[in-house]
């Protein structure tokens, strides 16, 4: 769902715009819309999620209709349409990872963080969710954390505790 | 030891750098192709090698290349499918992480063969670290003169870009991938026209899997004839197998096609046997979309022959008693695993990933998920199994892309081979919530049930 309530003013700084400029050069003349997914990743990396204001700005940069951005942002699961915690722990919940304990790990994360899937901890630091196969089946259970998508493999309950602790200390 | 063509140097320190990759013979295939061969020669060589697409469908790569339309004045594209989203498959991630130049070199040679001057590697967005690795490798290759203008003084120009996806299994389907690369939702296109005629930006396009493209390098290096000597029948060369589940040594293994399944599961060179001393219950041999087989049928065909890791042997018996090599996502289930739960899990996946264009897939996957959910949770009916088969039949073959089939096959095959376990979930609703049906008659034939 698009969030229309929580709409903060959004400023695209020069370094972001220059990254956009680099991106559109990868495609033939008139095909700059191809830059949409990589641009949305850059915007989300900077702001943590995609607000309608941010998407409108992307549309105007690409000279396309805002709806062309919304329909893409709502289709792909990596894009957050609501604010999330600073660290979103995304645990693979598909078959092969479940054979080696992914469901147990998700339960543990829920208890440990004290919030349900997709909710944010009161300190604003954490969210978590189950996601579908991330092509790391031999290293399962696994979780990833954006925006750099660092991987944590062969998860155990203790490993999750240590990870949460170290992220909390980092703040 | 089996012959390694793709992973030969995987353990060499810093093989991810151009310098070390070159020391180990890297970029020889580019030099050979661009200096000594015409594009047609390269296509011919790939045809002769018998290489079949490693993305899942197994379509002969050389033949696909020769279908590419070449109208005057229209650009042609090569797009590498690095979406790797079929559950059970993680070989492309492995290759790109550790030997990125193998893919870059393959892209250069293949682009040259196809006459593409701009090529894209579409990598699933979750593989941000791999995207960075590939971008670094491209910079290195460019600085060394293997990419960019006038490659090795030949007059051939090539630009190579990495494109991130956004998290959608469907974008592994080649026409959905092209839509996504054009900045749209990943809705598969109606075929024909095939990408070879009208693909990216409506121009002739070849889409190939990471491993298919990387395999072109050893084919040029050792020669098509030598490559085709490896393997059996129409399964030539080596194949990366992603092994996961309840085994001692999960990981990516390069096999010579033709290894017996039994050897692959139990030998220390590969999976190293079932973990924790348990027994084998079932295998999904080629990624979540292919039919699941019980232990007795994965090790031997219905005729009693040893089953081999080849396209033909795994398919022996059709869907009645066989399966498919698919993407090589080899998922192993031990005696403690519940087939009903796994079928529900896979079906939830397909429901979640259906793009929603075709109602049989959009609605059918949802219905199957619901019915499987109630079976798994002990509220099912004995008529549910027939209902599931009925729904799966109504999806299969009735959709624009094969995601519908991919959702139907795991359900139909699980009921075909494990019907009594599904029935037990109905007749022993409460017990099934805490207990496990176990092995029953699918027992690992290597160790008879007592
Ligand atoms: C739902 C669906 C998902 C697919 N996912 C992938 C994938 O992740 N990677 C891949 O290489 N091919 C995938 N394919 C197959 C591609 O459509 C295409 O056949 C393949 O990329 C061709 O490359 P190849 O001939 O080198 O195998 C998928 C197909 C379907 C129907």
Q: Hey, which residues 339-368 in chain B have their CB within 8 Å of chain A?
A: 341-342, 345-346, 349, 352-353, 355
With the most atoms of ligand 1 within 8 angstroms of its CB, the residue from B125, B174, B403 to mutate is B174
Instruction: Say if the Cβ atoms of B345 and A71 lie within 8 Å.
Output: no
Choose from A41, A62, A137, A150 for mutation: most chain B CBs within 10 A: A137
ipTM entry: 0.96
3-state secondary structure chain B: CCCCCCCCCCCCCCCCCHHHHHHCCCCHHHHHHHHHCCHHHHHHHHHHHCCECCCCCCCEHHHHHHCCCCCCCCCCEEEEEECCCCCCCCHHHHHHHHCHHHHHHHHHHHHHHHCCCEEEEEECCCCHHHHHHHHHHHHHHHHCCCCECCHHHCCCCEEEEEEECCCCHHHHCHHHHHHHHCCCCCCCCCCCCCCCCCCHHHCCEEEEEHHHHHHHHHHHHHCHHHHHHCEECCEECEEEEEEEECECCCEEEEEECCCEHHHHHHCCCCCCCEHHHCCEEEEECCCCCCCEEEHHHHHECCCCCECECCHHHHHCCHHHHCCCCCCCEEEEEECCCCHHHHHHHHHHHHHHHCCCCCHHHHHHHHHHHHHHHHHHCCCCCCCHHHHHHHHHHHHCCCCCCCHHHHHHHHHHHHHHHHHHHHHHHHHCCCHHHHCCCCCHHHCCCCCCCC
Cα B201 to Cα B198: distance, rounded to the nearest angstrom: 8
Chain B window 415-444: which residues touch A at a Cβ cutoff of 8 Å? none
Task: Mention every residue, 6+ apart, whose C-beta is less than 8 A from residue B412.
Answer: B291, B319, B388, B389, B392, B393, B396
Stretch 111-170 of chain B: residues touching chain A, C-beta under 8 Å: 118, 124-129, 159, 161, 163-169
- What does the angle CA A83 – CA A88 – CA A92 come to, to the nearest 5 degrees? 130
Nearest CA in chain A to B120: A26
Ligand 1 proximity of B84 Cβ (cutoff 6 Å): yes
Are B349 and A34 within 8 A, CB to CB? no
| B238-334 carries CATH number 2.40.50.100 | no
pLDDT of residue B304: 92
For residue B267, the model assigns a pLDDT of: 96
Helix (H) or strand (E) holding A145: strand A143-145
Could you tell me if the CB of B207 is within 6 A of ligand 1?
A: yes
| Contact between A148 and B129 using a beta-carbon 8 Å cutoff | yes
Separation CA B147–CA B154 (nearest Å): 11
Over residues A96-155, the pLDDT tens digits come to 999 999 999 999 999 999 999 999 999 999 999 999 999 999 999 999 999 999 999 999
Give the CA distances from residue B39 to residues B30, B111, B430, in Å, rounded to whole numbers and listed in that order: 12, 9, 65
Give the residue carrying structure tokens 């296109």: B189
Q: Are strands A150-152 and A126-131 parallel, antiparallel or unpaired?
A: unpaired
Query: What atom of ligand 1 comes closest to residue B124's alpha carbon?
Result: 8
**Which H or E element spans position A53?**
helix A52-62
Residue A68 pLDDT grade (very low, low, confident, very high; cuts 50, 70, 90)? very high
State the burial class of residue A22 (Cβ atoms within 10 Å of its Cβ: 0-12, 13-18, 19+): exposed
CB of B406 closer than 6 angstroms to any ligand 1 atom:
yes
Percent of chain A exceeding pLDDT 70 equals: 96
Looking at chain B, which residues constitute the CATH 3.40.50.11540 domain(s)? 18-229
Query: Which residues have CB under 8 Å from B300's CB, separation 6+?
Result: B306, B307, B445
Contacts of B242 in chain A (CB under 8 A): 137-138
Distance from CA of A132 to the nearest CA of B (A): 7
Domain with CATH 3.10.20.600 in chain B: 238-334
CATH 1.20.1440.230 intervals, chain B: 339-441
Residues B375, B381: Cα–Cα separation, whole Å = 7
Work out whether the CA dihedral B152, B153, B154, B158 comes out positive or negative: positive
CB contact under 8 A, A94 and B349: yes
- B54, B78, B86, B172, best to mutate for ligand 1 pocket (most atoms within 8 Å of CB): B172
Structural domains for chain A: 14-75 (1.10.10), 87-170 (3.40.30.10)
Q: Tell me the C-alpha distance between A37 and A15, whole Å.
A: 18
DSSP A19: H
Q: Which residues of A touch B116 (CB under 8 A)?
A: none
Q: Which residues of A touch B161 (CB under 8 A)?
A: 26
Counting one residue from A and one from B, how many pairs have CB atoms under 8 Å apart? 153
Burial of B323 (0-12, 13-18, 19+ CB in 10 A): buried
- Distance in Å, CA B58 to ligand 1 centroid: 10
Q: Which of B49, B51, B53, B56 best tests ligand 1's pocket when mutated (most atoms within 8 Å of CB)?
A: B56
Angle (CA) B442-A93-B289 rounded to 5° is: 50
Tell me how far CA of residue B265 lies from CA of A4, B6, B231, B290, B359, in angstroms: 53, 21, 18, 18, 39
pTM of the shown model: 0.97
**Residue A133 is labelled as binding a ligand:** yes
Task: Look up the CATH architecture of domain B339-441.
Answer: Up-down Bundle (1.20)
Residues whose CB falls within 8 Å of the CB of residue A151, separated by 6 or more in sequence, listed in order: A136, A139, A142, A143, A144, B129
Summary mean pLDDT of chain A: 95
Q: How far is the CA of B92 from the centre of ligand 1 (A)?
A: 12
**Gap between the Cα atoms of B162 and A38, Å rounded:** 10
Residues of B in contact with A35 (CB under 8 A): 183
B74: CB partners within 8 A, 6+ apart: B203, B204
The pLDDT score that the predictor gives to residue A5 is 56
Tell me if chain A has a CB within 8 Å of the CB of B289: no
Interface touch A135/B243, C-beta < 8 Å: no
CA of residue B173 to ligand 1 center, whole Å: 5
Pocket flag, ligand 1, residue B88 (CB < 6 Å) = no
In eight-state DSSP terms, residue A86 is S
Which chain A residue has its CA at the smallest distance from B181's CA?
A34
Residue B298 to residue B333: CA distance in whole angstroms = 12
pLDDT tens string, chain B, 450 residues long: the values are 689 999 999 999 999 999 999 999 999 999 999 999 999 999 999 999 999 999 999 999 999 999 999 999 999 999 999 999 999 999 999 999 999 999 999 999 999 999 999 999 999 999 999 999 999 999 999 999 999 999 999 999 999 999 999 999 999 999 999 999 999 999 999 999 999 999 999 999 999 999 999 999 999 999 999 999 999 999 999 999 999 999 999 999 999 999 999 999 999 999 999 999 999 999 999 999 999 999 999 999 999 999 999 999 999 999 999 999 999 999 999 999 999 999 999 999 999 999 999 999 999 999 999 999 999 999 999 999 999 999 999 999 999 999 999 999 999 999 999 999 999 999 999 999 988 898 876 655 544 433
Helices B403-427 and B384-395 cross at an angle (nearest 10°) of 180
Give the minimum alpha-carbon distance from A155 to chain B in angstroms, rounded to a whole number: 14
Class of CATH domain B18-229: alpha beta
**Residue whose structure tokens are 């974008």:** B171
User: By CA distance, what is B124's nearest residue in A?
Assistant: A134
Residue A91's DSSP bridge partners are: A130, A143
Strand-pairing partners, residue B164, are B123
- Residue A31: Cβ-neighbour burial (10 angstroms; 0-12, 13-18, 19+): middle
Angle at which helices B210-222 and B91-98 cross, to 10°: 60
Say yes or no for a CB contact (<8 Å) between A146 and B245. no
CA atoms within 13 A on the CB side of A96: 35
Give B-chain residues touching A102 at CB under 8 angstroms: none
Q: Is A98 annotated as a binding residue?
A: no
Contacts of B93 in chain A (CB under 8 A): 135-136
């Amino acid at each position: 769902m698009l969030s229309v309530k929580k709409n903060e003013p959004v400023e695209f700084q020069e370094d972001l715009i220059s990254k956009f400029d680099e991106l559109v050069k990868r495609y033939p003349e008139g095909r700059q819309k191809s830059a949409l997914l990589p641009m949305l990743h850059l915007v989300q990396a900077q702001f943590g999620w995609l607000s309608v204001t941010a998407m409108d700005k992307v549309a105007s940069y690409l000279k396309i209709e805002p709806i062309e951005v919304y329909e893409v942002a709502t289709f792909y699961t990596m894009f957050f349409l609501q604010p999330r915690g600073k660290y979103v722990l995304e645990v693979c919940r598909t078959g092969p990872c479940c054979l080696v304990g992914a469901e147990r790990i998700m339960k543990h994360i829920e208890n440990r963080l004290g919030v349900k899937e997709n909710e944010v901890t009161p300190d604003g630091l954490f969210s978590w969710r189950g996601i579908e196969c991330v092509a790391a089946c031999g290293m399962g259970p696994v979780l990833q954390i954006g925006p750099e998508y660092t991987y944590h493999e062969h998860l155990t309950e203790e490993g999750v505790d240590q990870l949460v602790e170290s992220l909390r200390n980092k703040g | 030891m089996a012959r390694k063509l793709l992973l030969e140097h995987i353990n060499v320190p810093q093989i991810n750098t151009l310098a070390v990759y070159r020391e180990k013979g890297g970029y020889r295939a580019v030099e050979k192709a661009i200096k000594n061969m015409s594009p047609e020669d390269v296509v011919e060589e790939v045809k002769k090698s018998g290489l079949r697409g490693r993305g899942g469908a197994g379509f002969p790569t050389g033949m696909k290349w020769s279908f590419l339309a070449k109208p005057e004045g229209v650009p042609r594209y090569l797009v590498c499918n690095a979406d790797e989203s079929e559950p059970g498959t993680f070989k492309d991630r492995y290759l790109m992480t550790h030997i990125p130049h193998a893919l870059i070199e393959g892209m250069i040679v293949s682009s040259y063969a196809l006459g593409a001057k701009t090529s894209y590697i579409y990598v699933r967005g979750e593989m941000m670290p791999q995207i960075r690795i590939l971008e670094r490798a491209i910079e290195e290759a460019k600085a060394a003169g293997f990419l960019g203008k006038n490659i090795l003084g030949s007059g051939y120009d090539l630009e190579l870009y990495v494109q991130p996806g956004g998290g959608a299994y469907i974008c592994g389907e080649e026409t959905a991938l092209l839509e996504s690369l054009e900045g749209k939702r990943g809705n598969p296109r109606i075929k024909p026209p095939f990408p070879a005629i009208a693909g990216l930006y409506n121009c002739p396009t070849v889409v190939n899997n990471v491993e298919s493209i990387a395999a072109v390098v050893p084919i040029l290096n050792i020669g098509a004839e030598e490559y085709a000597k490896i393997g059996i029948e129409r399964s030539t060369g080596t194949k990366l197998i992603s092994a996961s589940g309840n085994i001692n040594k999960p990981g990516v293994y390069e096999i010579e096609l033709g290894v017996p399944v039994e050897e692959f599961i139990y030998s220390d060179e590969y999976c190293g046997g079932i973990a924790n001393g348990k027994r084998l219950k079932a295998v999904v041999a080629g990624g979540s979309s292919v039919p699941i087989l019980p232990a007795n049928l994965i090790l031997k065909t219905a005729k009693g022959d040893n089953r081999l890791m080849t396209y033909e042997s795994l398919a022996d018996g059709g869907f009645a008693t066989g399966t498919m090599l698919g993407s090589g996502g080899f998922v192993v289930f031990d005696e403690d695993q519940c087939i009903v739960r796994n079928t529900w899990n896979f079906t939830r996946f397909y429901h979640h990933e259906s793009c929603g264009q075709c109602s049989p897939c959009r609605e059918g996957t949802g219905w199957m998920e619901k019915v499987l959910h109630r079976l798994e949770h002990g509220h099912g009916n004995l008529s549910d199994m027939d209902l599931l088969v009925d729904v799966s039949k109504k999806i299969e073959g009735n959709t624009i892309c094969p995601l519908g089939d991919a959702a139907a096959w795991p359900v139909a095959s699980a009921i075909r081979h494990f019907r009594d376990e599904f029935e037990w979930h109905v007749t022993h609703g409460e017990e099934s919530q805490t207990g496990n049906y176990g092995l029953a008659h699918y027992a690992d034939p290597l160790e008879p049930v007592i």
